[in-house]
Each structure stands twice: as structure tokens, then as C-alpha cells.
Amino acid sequence: MPAYASRFSSMQQRGERVVIDGPCYSACTMLLGMLSRDQVCVTRKAVLGFHAAFNFDEAGHRVTNTTATRALMGIYPPEIRSWLARRGGLSLQMKLLHGQKLASMYPLCR
């Protein structure tokens, strides 16, 4: 997450525009809260994938990192937090946002 945060912070400061044109999963979705809404557009192929932050235990199983997950939720804009909350919040299961629902939240690229 820190590497993505640093990258998106630099992009935000430079005013770069981001086109999401396919899968944007996991830490990639942090850009939604780190860039202004006018810096982001989506295509019809865009798919956002959200899940809880996790670590691996001694047996190699994923275990939710509650602190990092809380921080991640704090980064997302209100409409994304609300969408996630209606689906039970962040968990180890990927939640996908695409199609009309995504297009209602972010502008289509021109």
C-alpha cells in the first residue's frame, strides 16, 4: 500500500489524469481517494476490485489486517465507502464494481 500511496500522491500533485480501462484491483483502487474526481475517468471495460488488507499467517493463510483495512476504507471517497458498506464492507472476498454502477460514480472517458 505505501508504494501505491506514494505514486498516487505524486500523480495528484502533478494533476495527472488517470484512465481506468480494465481491471484495477486491490491497492490500485486507492487512487479513487487520492486523486480528485476530475482526474479519474473510466471506460466501459473498467472493473474495480476491493478487498480487505491482509497478511499471511504461519500456515500461509490470509488474515485480515484490521488496522490497514480501516486505513484503506478511510482513503476511499464517501460513495465508494457507502457502496462497500451496502455489501458488508471490506472482506477477504473480492467485491467488483463495474458497468452502470461504476459509470454512475465516475465519468466515462472521452
Contact 68, 53 (CB under 8 A): yes
| Residue bearing the bigger pLDDT, 8 or 51 | 51
Query: In this structure, is residue 37 part of a structural domain?
Result: yes
Q: Is 45 exposed, middle or buried (0-12, 13-18, 19+ CB in 10 A)?
A: exposed
Residue 92's pLDDT band (boundaries 50, 70, 90)? very high
Query: In this structure, is residue 10 part of a structural domain?
Result: yes
Phi, psi of 56 (to 5 degrees): -110, 140
Helix, strand, coil tally for the chain in percent (to 5) = 45, 20, 35
What pLDDT does 107 receive?
95
How many domains, in total, are found in the chain? 1
Query: In this structure, is residue 71 part of a structural domain?
Result: yes
For 25-47, the pLDDT digits (tens) are 998 999 998 998 899 999 999 99
Which range of residues forms the domain containing residue 72? Answer: 2-105
What pLDDT does 98 receive?
97
Query: In this structure, is residue 93 part of a structural domain?
Result: yes
* CB neighbours of residue 36 within 10 Å: 9
